[in-house]
Chains A and B, each alone.
Chain A
């Protein structure tokens, strides 16, 4: 889900948002803090967090996209990368000040189910379902609604989209809002399974970045499928090779795929 959100931002606006993972950490912190007040389940909190992160996305647009819209493609990409990196660093310190140094970990337990001899951890199954529903809804939004179609048009050809009356500013703001929502939801789900350090935002962004390239930029299904495929490869590589060579195998396959695909003609 993190990769899907990043893909949207990269594909539609040409923005490499290095603060993307920090938004996931922010969501994890908010969830952790809220749990003290009331024991929301992850899925309930996801619903509550959606409008908050939509607003945050609009705010983020003002910082890392709007100031650079008149620059060339390359200069704009670099400037937004620097701006988002600066923002990520600021957020890191704010998180430490707010939450402390300890990793954020929510202790959610769920039973494990036995299905014909297969052990299915309940929490992971639910979170997988939630991720699938979120990505499905986002895909429907992009395909079936006017704002979604506008975003896709903007990703394909900015100038032509402008000629058709699509406001690039508002549309990209909406895209970043959607991307931020996906980051927030990913953070809530991730922290239900694994501890996240307050300074781990950049690490999360970089992990997501690589899934983006495997699945393609500017679409939702690609990174989602790529993430699943990567997970399978990681598991099988652990059986076929040593554990420590798993990453080497996985990333070699990805880079090989990239080189063979020779992508980049879109941008």
Chain B
């Protein structure tokens, strides 16, 4: 607006809250254009979403496995690159000719269709609906974590599509009476049962202090661990349930120090465990053994020598000879993912193997047949035998693994162990 225009009073004084200026009775051309373009853009986007065909071939000559991966959000540090693992599995299997499907009379290639669920349940559910209705997935693999799987599995149940849950073992998921879900791994309360079997067999520990992260999975693991510890003859001397974002553990460490437990059992995700362990070492908390339910390369790298002799839980380490470890190693190498940094990779491999076997044995991509086959399936995988209970819960469980000399070793049961359990640990 010019000074002359302002002084003459013929036009309204401009008010500005952005580049849109008003002139009395008349829209500016660029505002018209801007709105028009906005509307066209939005209309185009909406058209793309609603009428876009699946990006994958409609042809039945392909096996479509749908999944979501938490590539962003709070679980991304644990599972973020796993689309690469799925693609590596598909590439490897397809290079070997694909999966034989009797009804098609041929070996069909596998294709994974993967979306980012942002570690969020409702987002995951939306994408599983898309996988079913738009992408026409034949079978679904579950997302990471119990809360996200809880929401996502509803889509599979409502649409009657086989759903193989992977890292989701909260008992709440499997007590809903759903018919279209199975899970590769055992329920959370039994997550550490082999560790407590070992403690019972060795007989040295009498007392345990628990530190629990207040989220779904660690709480579930703790509830089971408490009962297992009790049946192994241990007494709980301290329980500390802390929020997930805790950084200062001074009070909890002081309380535990006063009780001098034999075992400090940390039921938490990796960042929480690292922060706790670091401060525990600094303040001189010195039980006979530390146990963390989740550890991996990040844990080891984050603590350095402070991680030595800490016991955790692993699905697989080098040296285990179940299933086809060479295939697993090849796929891990192809994906570029380090097993140390992402210790859930074996669970995913077991899910891939389960899905593959289910398709081969069903001989069809018909969903009813697939689900019926899955329910009665018993298959050897890299982590051991996978089969399913009536409610869908699986049989795969973790093994206690100890960091000895900077390396992970399975320490129980003896037939699987790759090293002897170091007790008391060299730092204790």
Contact = CB atoms under 8 A, between A and B. Distances in A.
Q: Do chains A and B touch in the complex (CB under 8 A)?
A: yes
Contacts of A71: 16-18
Interface stretch (B126-134, B137-145, B275-283): B275-283
A199 B72 contact: yes
Interface string A89-114: 00010001000111101010100100
Interface string B260-298: 000000000011001100110011100000000000011
B251 A238 contact: yes
B243 interface: yes
A254 to B, nearest CB: 16
B318 interface: no
* Chain B: interface size category: 35 or more
B243 A244 contact: yes
Given A109-B306, A119-B282, A119-B284, A102 B271 contact: no
A193 interface: yes
B248 interface: yes
Contacts of B16: 71-72
A60 to B, nearest CB: 22
Interface in A207-250: 231, 234-235, 238-239, 242-244, 246-247
Interface in B228-274: 240-243, 245-248, 250-252, 270-271, 274
Given A194-B271, A244-B242, A199 B73 contact: yes
B248 A231 contact: yes
B274 A195 contact: yes
Contacts of A75: 17-18
A197 interface: yes
Contacts of A235: 248, 250-251
Nearest to A196: B271
Give the interface centre of A103, A235, A239, A244 by most chain B CB atoms within 10 Å: A103
B214 interface: yes
Given A102-B297, A197-B77, A234-B248, A107 B304 contact: yes
Contacts of A199: 72-73, 76-77
A86 interface: no
A103 B243 contact: no
A109 B247 CA distance: 17
Contacts of B251: 235, 238-239, 243
B380 interface: no
* Chain A: interface size category: 20 to 34
B379 interface: no
Interface string B59-82: 000000000000011001101110
B284 to A, nearest CB: 6
Contacts of A123: 282
A143 interface: no
Interface string B182-197: 0000000000000000
A121 interface: yes
Given A71-B18, A119-B283, A105 B298 contact: yes
A103 B75 CA distance: 11
Interface in B278-336: 278-279, 282-284, 297-298, 301-306
27 contacts: A71-B17, A71-B18, A72-B16, A101-B79, A101-B80, A101-B81, A105-B302, A107-B303, A109-B304, A109-B305, A112-B284, A121-B279, A121-B282, A193-B278, A194-B275, A195-B298, A197-B77, A197-B271, A235-B250, A239-B251, A242-B241, A243-B214, A243-B240, A243-B242, A243-B246, A243-B252, A244-B243
Given A109-B306, A121-B283, 4 more contacts: A72-B16, A75-B18, A100-B81, A102-B77
- List the 3 closest A-B pairs by CB distance, nearest first: A101-B80, A105-B302, A121-B282
